[in-house]
A and B are shown apart, each in its own frame.
Chain A
């Protein structure tokens, strides 16, 4: 019995040891798993920390700075977190932040625009007022020295007005001036008038194309900005070449400078601005503000012309091309023909009940005429009937206003007046120049003309009597000589 005790103890010990071993092994496994899990959790925590820091330092500022909120933003650092709730929450934070920033910026931009627009409007009005008084002074003062100073003031004022106008346009305002339909070359020269280095601009090309009134001022402004850029970024002794040409779908103004040119990034930026797709806000113009391209882009988008500035000019600088589609253009002849007719017949609508309200507006006869006859021209019809003196006005049934305008002077003054030189608006006959050529061309027309109900012979007799009387009076009194006129060579 006693010799069995150690065996029993041994077995007990062995069993205990085994149990302890098993327990130890299990404990070890559990600990290892625990440690791993701890590590994982710690890693996850670290990743979230990093992710938060990343959100704070990179992603949020990015959203803040990005002009376009829909552009793809930087993703999570740890892709393992991609589908977790945490990532979803972060995205939510980001979205909310973006929305808040956008809202705040929109409000700030709007109020800034409104303020700037209002002040620019008043500055523009002042510039226009000043321009009127400068022009009046130019009319009033005859001395070249005074004129020189006035021209300088005028030049500065024109640039000043353009700047105000450009900023106003950028703030969503209209270009401001309403102009009559003008020849494209006048439009380009008008743009030349508004830049500093106007004497370096050379304009080539002759086209008989005019720009419709509603597009005149925007095109002037856009071309002026391009010319200003071209002149500003090239050497003072170089010229800026402007070429005007007609193309199949409209007309082009090509501006070549011999300046520094633009690198790829600048070209991309310029293209983006010129397309007008990106809305430019006044808070992002940089310092010093560069708004030329943004203004052009806004105008181009609003009025439907296009501007590109990406290509290299033959002189090594930038070539900018303004393309004006046919819709903005009209024919020059139409404008010139319409002007005298409309001038001569302005009382027409008051005497005749004009069917069209456009004809009744005295201030815009040229424009009304131009837009009426323009489609006929562009569609390739025969010349507009107002150029032909003979045929009755009823040949153009599509424009009742035009036919009314046409009949007015003819019915009031039947045969005395040639088509070119009728009467003024007040009904007075226009002075006709004496010319040997004209007199030789139509001698037969003279005797039939009756002025004031008397025949030409009667008039001649009276004039002769007057001359005789004057002469005899002078010789009788022998009046001392007075030089009334001015001396000339």
Chain B
């Protein structure tokens, strides 16, 4: 449907992208971890995929799954790259926005009252 080739047809194979590594340096990443670019570290010395990743994340937060999709790389390969970029300080992660956690019913009740009063 789209012009993008199948990932199987990639010219540059995954082991070249990760320089032969399969284990990310940290295992705190999963599909929905949000990636945020820390400001203005130079991109010199990064391989093209990492550079592309940084460019993808620069406009705003992007999840690991989305990054992998845009780079048309397997998620586990993308994780290796992301972990490297986190080590070098180019990226920071933010946990996904958590599910609502109603800890204190009283506060919620107050918020609700306040909202009702306003609307």
A, B assembled together: yes
Interface residues of A (CB under 8 A from B): 131-132, 134-136, 138-139, 141-145, 147-148, 150-152, 154-155, 158, 177, 179-180, 182-183, 185-187, 189-190, 192-193, 198-199, 216, 220, 339, 342-343, 346, 365-366, 424-426, 433-438, 464, 468, 471-472, 474-475, 478, 481-489
Asked whether, in the complex, the Cβ of A136 is within 8 Å of the Cβ of B59, the reply is: no
8 further interface pairs, Cβ-Cβ under 8 Å (given A366-B3, A488-B96): A135-B74, A136-B8, A139-B7, A141-B76, A144-B24, A179-B11, A189-B16, A342-B3
Q: How far is the CA of A226 from the CA of B33 in the complex (A)?
A: 42
Q: Which residues of B contact A435 (CB under 8 A)?
A: 59-60
Asked whether, in the complex, the Cβ of A138 is within 8 Å of the Cβ of B14, the reply is: yes
Q: Which residues of A contact B105 (CB under 8 A)?
A: 475, 478
In the complex, which residue of chain B has the Cβ closest to the Cβ of A485?
A: B96
Question: Given B2, B32, B112, which contacts A424 in the complex, CB threshold below 8 Å?
Answer: B2
Q: How far is the CA of A135 from the CA of B9 in the complex (A)?
A: 9
Q: Mark B4-15, 1 if CB is under 8 A from A, else 0.
A: 111111111111
Question: Which 9 A-B pairs have CB atoms at the shortest separation, nearest pair first?
Answer: A148-B22, A435-B60, A488-B95, A135-B8, A190-B11, A193-B13, A147-B22, A138-B74, A132-B8
* Chain A min CB distance to B3 (Å): 5
Q: Which residues of B contact A475 (CB under 8 A)?
A: 102, 105, 108-109, 112
Q: Which residues of B contact A154 (CB under 8 A)?
A: 13-15
Q: Check A147/B77 contact, CB under 8 A, given A468-B119, A486-B30, A488-B28.
A: yes
* Chain B min CB distance to A385 (Å): 20
In the complex, which residue of chain B has the Cβ closest to the Cβ of A481?
A: B101
Q: Which residues of B contact A366 (CB under 8 A)?
A: 3
Q: How far is the CA of A212 from the CA of B94 in the complex (A)?
A: 41
Asked whether, in the complex, the Cβ of A138 is within 8 Å of the Cβ of B1, the reply is: no
Asked whether, in the complex, the Cβ of B13 is within 8 Å of the Cβ of A438, the reply is: no
8 Å CB contacts to A: which residues of B61-78?
61-62, 74-77
* Residue of A138, A150, A190 with highest tally of chain B CB at under 10 A: A138
Q: How far is the CA of A307 from the CA of B62 in the complex (A)?
A: 44
Q: Which residues of B contact A186 (CB under 8 A)?
A: 11-12, 48
Q: Which residues of A contact B24 (CB under 8 A)?
A: 144
Could you list 8 examples of A-B contacts with CB < 8 Å?
Answer: A141-B76, A193-B15, A198-B15, A198-B16, A220-B11, A435-B60, A436-B60, A438-B59
Q: Check A185/B48 contact, CB under 8 A, given A144-B76, A155-B13, A485-B96.
A: yes
Interface residues of B (CB under 8 A from A): 1-16, 18-24, 27-28, 30-33, 48, 59-62, 74-77, 93, 95-96, 98-102, 105, 108-109, 111-112, 115, 119
Q: How far is the CA of A236 from the CA of B27 in the complex (A)?
A: 32
Q: How far is the CA of A182 from the CA of B119 in the complex (A)?
A: 57
Q: Which residues of B contact A474 (CB under 8 A)?
A: 100, 102, 108
Q: How far is the CA of A481 from the CA of B100 in the complex (A)?
A: 8
Q: Which residues of B contact A198 (CB under 8 A)?
A: 15-16, 20
Q: Which residues of B contact A138 (CB under 8 A)?
A: 14, 74, 76-77
- Report whether over half of chain B's contact residues are helix, strand or loop; otherwise say mixed: loop
- Report whether over half of chain A's contact residues are helix, strand or loop; otherwise say mixed: helix
Q: How far is the CA of A424 from the CA of B48 in the complex (A)?
A: 25
Q: How far is the CA of A158 from the CA of B98 in the complex (A)?
A: 43
* Chain A min CB distance to B93 (Å): 7
Question: Given A134, A187, A489, which contacts B28 in the complex, CB threshold below 8 Å?
Answer: A489
Q: Which residues of A contact B21 (CB under 8 A)?
A: 148
Asked whether, in the complex, the Cβ of A192 is within 8 Å of the Cβ of B1, the reply is: no
Asked whether, in the complex, the Cβ of B1 is within 8 Å of the Cβ of A471, the reply is: no
Question: Given B5, B9, B30, which contacts A488 in the complex, CB threshold below 8 Å?
Answer: B30
Q: How far is the CA of A182 from the CA of B11 in the complex (A)?
A: 9
Q: Which residues of B contact A199 (CB under 8 A)?
A: 19-20
* Chain A min CB distance to B37 (Å): 11
Q: Which residues of A contact B16 (CB under 8 A)?
A: 189, 192-193, 198
Q: How far is the CA of A139 from the CA of B115 in the complex (A)?
A: 46
Q: How far is the CA of A120 from the CA of B24 in the complex (A)?
A: 37
Q: How far is the CA of A345 from the CA of B27 in the complex (A)?
A: 40
Asked whether, in the complex, the Cβ of B76 is within 8 Å of the Cβ of A142, the reply is: yes
* Residue of A189, A425, A468 with highest tally of chain B CB at under 10 A: A189
Q: Which residues of A contact B14 (CB under 8 A)?
A: 138, 151, 154
In the complex, which residue of chain B has the Cβ closest to the Cβ of A185?
A: B48
Asked whether, in the complex, the Cβ of B112 is within 8 Å of the Cβ of A472, the reply is: yes
Asked whether, in the complex, the Cβ of A343 is within 8 Å of the Cβ of B11, the reply is: no
* Chain A min CB distance to B74 (Å): 4
Asked whether, in the complex, the Cβ of A145 is within 8 Å of the Cβ of B22, the reply is: yes
Q: How far is the CA of A147 from the CA of B9 in the complex (A)?
A: 18
Q: Check A135/B3 contact, CB under 8 A, given A437-B59, A438-B59.
A: no
* Chain B min CB distance to A208 (Å): 12
Q: Which residues of A contact B6 (CB under 8 A)?
A: 132, 135
Asked whether, in the complex, the Cβ of A135 is within 8 Å of the Cβ of B10, the reply is: yes
In the complex, which residue of chain A has the Cβ closest to the Cβ of B109?
A: A475
Asked whether, in the complex, the Cβ of B22 is within 8 Å of the Cβ of A485, the reply is: no
Asked whether, in the complex, the Cβ of B23 is within 8 Å of the Cβ of A433, the reply is: no
